[in-house]
Amino acid sequence: MNFTIKEAVEILERTPKILDSFLSGLSSEWLHCNEGEGTWNAAEVLDHLIEGEKNNWITRLNFILKEGPTKPFPPFHRYSHLSGLEEKPIQEKLLEFRNMRKKNIAKLKSLIDPELHLELTGSHPALGIVRIRELISTWAVHDLTHISQIARVMANRYRSDVGPWKEYLGILKR
């Protein structure tokens, strides 16, 4: 097993910086390209990450600490960010994500004592019994998944433009 809370926090702290560096100042064409119907663009992925900061990670962590495995925590609606809310500028979204993430990492550090809490369990509505360390690990890997998704979606925008070099570009091999 590789998990340590310190290492997970290293990823969680870096994600807002990575996204800020990667997405700030990009044209709408880059921010809103996708891989076809039913797929997300970079701006929508950022909306999803913000929604997770509001209603997923710390909410579930608190629920596990309070309820344990006695009842399932409320489901997280993974697509609620697509509900047609007013589109904010990317800089505003990046700032919101950065601020929420900073608060949530502080909450994580104040709530969790790695010596006492990592093996505590809760009940996921679909997956059954889960541990706090699994929730925190998933939070970090979730970030990495969506960073990778954003890069892949943006790379696909130039799929036909790279010509024969496509054969050498692993990100375009799906």
Give the 3-state secondary structure of 46-108. HHHHHHHHHHCHHHHHHHHHHHCCCCECCCCCCCHHHCCCCCCCHHHHHHHHHHHHHHHHHHH
**What pLDDT, on a 0 to 100 scale, did the predictor assign at position 86?**
66
Q: What is the pLDDT of residue 85?
A: 63
pLDDT tens-digit profile of 13-55?
999 999 999 999 999 999 999 999 989 999 999 999 999 999 9
Query: Strand locations in the chain, DSSP E?
Result: 121-124, 128-131
Task: Say which CATH class 5-147 falls into.
Answer: mainly alpha
pLDDT per residue as tens digits for the range 73-127: 888 766 555 666 668 899 999 999 999 999 999 999 999 999 999 999 999 999 9
What is the per-residue pLDDT for 160?
95
Does the pLDDT of residue 146 top 70, yes or no? yes
Specify the pTM: 0.93
Angle made by CA atoms 11, 17, 18, in degrees to the nearest 5 = 75
Query: 57: pLDDT confidence band, cut at 50, 70 and 90?
Result: very high
| Residue 155 near residue 171 (C-beta atoms within 8 A) | yes
Q: For 58-76, how does the pLDDT look when each residue is reduced to its tens digit (9 = 90+)?
A: 999 999 999 999 999 888 7
Using CA atoms, how far residue 62 sits from 14, 42, 73, 126, 132, in Å, is 23, 29, 10, 18, 10
Q: Are 42 and 27 in contact (CB under 8 A)?
A: no
* pLDDT score recorded for residue 1: 81
State mean pLDDT over 133-153.
97
